[in-house]
């Protein structure tokens, strides 16, 4: 990966899972990485991982990790996060919007009306929180003169996956990336969505470990959480980054183009053939 020792990054939702892996991979480039989350101590959440633990992992990887305890459902806390970045850094190079509220019932079988309305929380911490974070980050991204906003997303924005609450949230994030890119384009700030594959997170590993034989084939093609962070690093170094802006990209395909490998040296496959193409939006702008 490239070395950008003066790079300033914010990764939201980074106590564990994709956010932790992305932050750690970007920390390996020497960057200062602000990581956000709500878990202060192990045992507070059903899954392991804390905000400070991720910040420590970023520093151990070669960067400078800064833990910021932030509930992205609270706009005041989000504002305080970016005020801290402004006071301490004066600019922002990369924002990774990853914070998402995933209800335990999300993967339950059955139609949406048999699941709790609380699943719509992912529209607040997910769709809305991505918008809010980017709104607060905008002055810092403009100050840097060149920037990148990545919204982590999934094939669920196009196909039926976990039901309509999940699908609507992901589809909205993808369209939001496109529209934000229109406004940011004159300022040399790129905005895009990355569809991640099946991730080897704490949550998925718990499922895999319970029935290893059943999921052996899936595990063989899964991505480590750091993989997307490596792809984001390659994007940030691309001199033609703005040509990527406003679009939805499959992370595994970007990795193939940039020659990026996963942390185990593997090249995770794209699931385009099974799940379909990324969303293509029109170029017309109507004020």
Residue of 69, 131, 160, 166 marked catalytic: 166
CATH class, domain 8-275, is: alpha beta
pLDDT, averaged in runs of 10, over the chain (287 residues): 76 96 98 96 81 98 98 97 98 97 89 96 96 98 97 94 95 97 98 93 70 68 94 98 98 98 96 85 64
Measured distance CA(23)–CA(35) in Å, rounded: 7
Measured distance CA(159)–CA(275) in Å, rounded: 7
| Token digits of residue 103 | 């209800």
Assess whether 131 carries a catalytic annotation. no
What pLDDT is attached to residue 110? 94
What pLDDT is attached to residue 284? 63
| Token digits of residue 232 | 């984001």
What pLDDT is attached to residue 198? 87
| Token digits of residue 249 | 């990209």
Q: Say what the pTM is.
A: 0.93
């Amino acid at each position: 990966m490239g070395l950008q020792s003066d790079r300033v990054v914010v990764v939201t939702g980074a106590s564990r899972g994709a956010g932790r892996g992305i932050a750690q991979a970007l920390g390996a480039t020497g960057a200062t990485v602000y990581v956000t989350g709500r878990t202060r101590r192990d045992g507070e959440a059903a899954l392991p991982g804390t905000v400070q633990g991720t910040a420590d992992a970023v520093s151990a990887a070669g960067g400078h990790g800064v833990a910021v305890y932030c509930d992205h459902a609270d706009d005041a806390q989000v504002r305080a996060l970016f005020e801290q970045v402004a006071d301490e850094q004066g600019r922002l190079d990369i924002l990774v919007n990853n914070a998402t509220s995933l209800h335990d019932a999300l993967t339950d079988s059955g139609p949406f009306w048999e699941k709790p309305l609380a699943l719509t929380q992912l529209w607040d911490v997910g769709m809305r929180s991505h918008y809010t974070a980017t709104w607060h980050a905008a002055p810092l991204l403009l100050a840097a003169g060149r920037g990148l906003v990545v919204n982590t997303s999934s094939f669920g924005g196009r196909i039926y996956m976990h039901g309509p609450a999940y699908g609507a949230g992901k589809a909205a994030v993808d369209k939001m990336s496109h529209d934000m890119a229109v406004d940011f384009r004159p300022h040399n700030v790129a905005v895009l969505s990355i569809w991640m594959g099946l991730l080897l997170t704490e949550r998925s590993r718990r499922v895999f470990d319970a029935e290893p034989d059943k999921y052996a084939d899936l595990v063989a093609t899964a991505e480590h959480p750091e993989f997307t962070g490596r792809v984001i690093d390659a994007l940030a170094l691309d001199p033609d980054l703005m040509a990527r802006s406003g679009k939805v990209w499959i992370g595994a395909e970007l990795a193939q183009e940039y020659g990026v490998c996963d942390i185990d040296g593997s090249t995770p496959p794209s699931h385009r053939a099974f799940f379909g193409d990324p969303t293509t939006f029109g170029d017309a702008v109507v004020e």
